[in-house]
Amino acid sequence: AKWVKRVVFDVSDTGLRYVPGDRCAVLPENSDALIDKTLAALRAKGYEEITLTAEWREAMNLRHGYQDATTLPIRTLLRYGRTRPVERAVAKTLYAVSLNGRLRRIIEARAEDQWELWDLLELLSKAGFDPKRLWKAHPGEREHICRIVPPESFRMYSISSAMDHDSISGAQELTLTIGRLLYNTQDSEATRQEERLGTTSHYLGDSSFVGAEERDKMSIRLVHPPRFNLPDDPTTPIVMFAGGTGVAPFRGFVHERVNQQNGGDNWLFLGTRTRAEFYYQEEFEPFVAQGRLNIRTAFSRDPVEPKNKDGQFVFEASEKKYIGDEMLREENAKMLWDLLRSKKDGGQGGYFYVCG
């Protein structure tokens, strides 16, 4: 149920260029299943036309085919709007127009983010609130649907690939490593029992998402963090600490570094629950065999340790451990201290990176 997938974008002919450590911001959409639930809670059919606010008009300029839109069918608005989890400002607006005591207690408990719009509206409807008010209101009114459903925002992911720097036209592909967000909210005075899905992971990687196979255009943008990048001097050693899907940016780091001439040492400390979560294992094996990558692993629920033999990892019996335990092993601790110290202090002046 909690899968991890590699998602590859075709970015040829876009002119996009990136370097290891860059991030890709993705603008998600909601599934038909979630939209149908929300329409039912709103007592709407889906074709009702909504006049957009200035915020929504600006947001739709980022969506392919909707530039300069001033109205949208409510189904389309719900596809591109944020309906889960419920934001605090939205919950307060709904309380202001409903004066619902249960909602007030939810807000006081700061538990509004344990709800989605559809089930919160159902709660209000059972107490006599008419949800049609929201999509029948005029744009200037505080309960107007555009204020209850704000436009979706970009979600950030580490780029997991390294582009070919010889390409004049820019990158051909851009890879992300996506872990599905799946969780349950509990039944209490301020919450209710329900299985919840992460919006963007569902959009990018769930095969049950309607239209996933036919989707041809997606809204993305690149983000260049100021400090999460490789050293200018390729001889400088690097140490990468990753937890689970936190290995995502380091796949790009490793591919970039192994192609550099006279590159420095590359160390990866990887902490996961089991060997099944040792992502990109087969890609890393030849780099380890060639002496271009050193890997130290810690499996918290799996008493094994990988050894590279003949270019492949063989898992040998060991003990369950966490990444901190592996760092404190005497030989690793000495190595890390040497890498951490600056060159003027007799160390190697390595770069350290952490991604959880």
92-145 pLDDT, tens digit each: 999 999 999 999 999 999 999 999 999 999 999 999 999 999 999 998 899 999
Contacts with 22 (C-beta within 8 Å, 6 or more apart), sequence order: 159, 222, 223, 224, 225, 229
Q: Is 36's pLDDT higher than 90?
A: yes
- Beta strands (DSSP E) in the chain are 4-10, 23-27, 49-51, 71-73, 155-158, 173-179, 182-185, 194-197, 219-223, 238-243, 266-272, 294-299, 304-309, 312-317, 351-355
Mean per-residue pLDDT of the chain: 93
Within the chain, where are the H helices? 32-42, 54-60, 74-80, 88-98, 101-108, 117-126, 132-136, 145-148, 199-205, 248-258, 281-289, 323-327, 330-340
In this predicted structure, the answer to whether residue 214 has a pLDDT above a threshold of 60 is: no
8 Å CB contact between 149 and 82:
yes
Q: What is the pLDDT of residue 221?
A: 95
Q: State if pTM tops 0.85.
A: yes
Count CA atoms closer than 13 A to 307's CA, side-chain side. 6
Contact 284, 267 (CB under 8 A): no
3-class DSSP assignment, residue 32: helix
Q: Residue 102: what residue type?
A: R
User: Is the peptide bond preceding residue 150 cis, with omega within 30 degrees of 0?
Assistant: no
